[in-house]
């Protein structure tokens, strides 16, 4: 590895960063951002024994990235039943989601803080045969130490924003040394490929394949619960605001108030991105004078309820199945949007705001196929909801979205072939 002063300085700091890391962990614990029962995992202390045999380690930044891996892991497990899968993330929410969704051969651990003693402890225990990084989250000590152990590393589903590129380019020597450690990279789009090539990832290792979220399996739901709620709704017109953020709920409620003037029986199912905001969102709904019920309290969307606050985790698959119209949150405020393929895969029409930088290429393809509709204000959102309550118009858009979504299954196929090829060329590292 060629010399980088910045990387050398970082590694020197990382080797002595245990006290600093403990202060950061303590602050995160106080803020509710860490699981106190599993905090040792952030120190590289494993919460379980390493299984015997080949182990593939996937690292994902948070919920969306980890969910995109599920279909790939399921397919790999079917192809190679002897494989085991370690999935690491850094957020409490992602850990909760993974616990409910990972197949039997896979398990979750929190990623260690990027302090060298913690990183070495983590790698000493798990000894992965192959390390797979998703998106473009780069932890220098973890990358350097993994490479030092001759563990092959690849990137899949990589996406880099202009903001991330501009931040990294001031440390171009450092990021070049880090990117050179990866054997291969599957990236989501040409722009990401351009950014990574500019930052130093060798062009012959780069492949533009699209996003794994295109090939992901549809979000699951409990069919018994779905059928019960469908009977309870009894054909009532319903629309969904999914994965909403602070600042968006007010606009969504304003739109619902307008839409109710045309469709007085209309129900809004409101799903905050972060369920812990449930109390704040409930207070906002109440202040607007809506009758509402809360899923977290075990309440039902009765006929006299105008808004159903679904402040629970992991039930979007249920709501996308029940609501024929879905507004995809994170897009009326400058968040960047969320995955539109989730509603598309389940036949729900897609509405979204102007802020979709996280999925700009996907939303562009949906727009070209007339498979989604852009809204920019409560007025336009209300008008779109009322218009798409027409079953024929909704069905046409939903089918177009499904076609765009289903065309991406080959992305998972390419990632699967690439990972199995690297695994087959890798010396076995699991023997003590």
User: What residues are labeled active site?
Assistant: 65
As a whole number of angstroms, the distance between CA 412 and CA 418 comes to 10
Q: Which helix (H) or strand (E) holds 185?
A: strand 184-187
Residue 231, class by beta-carbon neighbours within 10 Å (0-12 exposed, 13-18 middle, 19+ buried)? Answer: exposed
Nearest of 35, 145, 50, 161 to residue 89 by alpha carbon: 35
Tokens at 359, concatenated: 């999925």
Nearest of 223, 214, 217 to residue 321 by alpha carbon: 223
- Please provide residue 313's backbone torsions phi and psi, each rounded to the nearest 5 degrees: -105, 140
């Amino acid at each position: 590895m060629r010399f980088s002063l910045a990387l050398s300085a970082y590694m020197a700091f990382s080797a002595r960063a245990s006290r600093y890391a403990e202060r950061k962990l303590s602050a995160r614990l106080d803020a509710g951002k860490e699981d106190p029962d599993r905090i040792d995992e952030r120190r590289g202390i494993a919460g379980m024994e390493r299984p015997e045999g080949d182990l593939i380690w996937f690292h994902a930044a948070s919920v969306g990235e980890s969910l995109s891996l599920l279909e790939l892991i399921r397919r790999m497990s079917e192809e190679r039943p002897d494989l085991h899968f370690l999935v690491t993330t850094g957020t409490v929410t992602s850990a909760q989601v993974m616990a409910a969704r990972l197949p039997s051969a896979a398990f979750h651990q929190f990623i260690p803080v990027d302090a060298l003693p913690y990183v070495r402890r983590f790698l000493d225990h798990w000894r992965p045969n192959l390390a797979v990084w998703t998106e473009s989250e780069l932890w220098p000590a973890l990358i350097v130490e993994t490479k030092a152990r001759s563990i092959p590393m690849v990137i899949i589903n990589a996406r880099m924003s202009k903001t991330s590129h501009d931040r990294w380019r001031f440390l171009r020597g450092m990021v070049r040394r880090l990117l050179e450690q990866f054997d291969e990279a599957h990236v989501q789009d040409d722009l990401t490929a351009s950014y990574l090539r500019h930052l130093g990832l060798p062009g012959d290792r780069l492949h533009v394949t699209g996003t794994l979220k295109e090939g992901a399996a549809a979000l699951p739901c409990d069919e018994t619960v779905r059928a019960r709620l469908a009977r309870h709704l009894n054909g009532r017109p319903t629309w969904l605001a999914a994965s909403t953020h602070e600042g968006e709920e007010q606009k969504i409620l304003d739109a619902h108030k307008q839409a109710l003037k045309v469709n007085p029986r209309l129900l809004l199912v409101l799903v905050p991105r972060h369920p812990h905001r449930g109390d704040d969102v409930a207070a906002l709904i109440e202040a607007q004078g809506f009758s509402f019920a809360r899923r977290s309290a075990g309440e039902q969307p009765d006929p006299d309820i105008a808004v159903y606050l679904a402040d629970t985790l992991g039930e979007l698959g249920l709501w996308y199945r029940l609501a024929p119209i879905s507004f995809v949150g994170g897009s009326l405020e400058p968040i960047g949007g969320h995955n539109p393929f989730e509603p598309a895969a389940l036949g729900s029409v897609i509405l979204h705001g102007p802020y979709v930088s996280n999925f700009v290429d996907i939303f562009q393809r949906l727009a070209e196929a007339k498979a989604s509709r852009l809204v920019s204000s409560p007025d336009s959102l209300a008008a779109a909801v009322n218009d798409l309550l027409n079953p024929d118009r909704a069905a046409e858009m939903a089918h177009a979205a499904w076609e765009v979504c289903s065309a991406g299954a080959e992305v998972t196929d390419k990632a699967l072939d690439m990972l199995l090829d690297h695994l087959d060329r890798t010396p076995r590292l699991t023997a003590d």
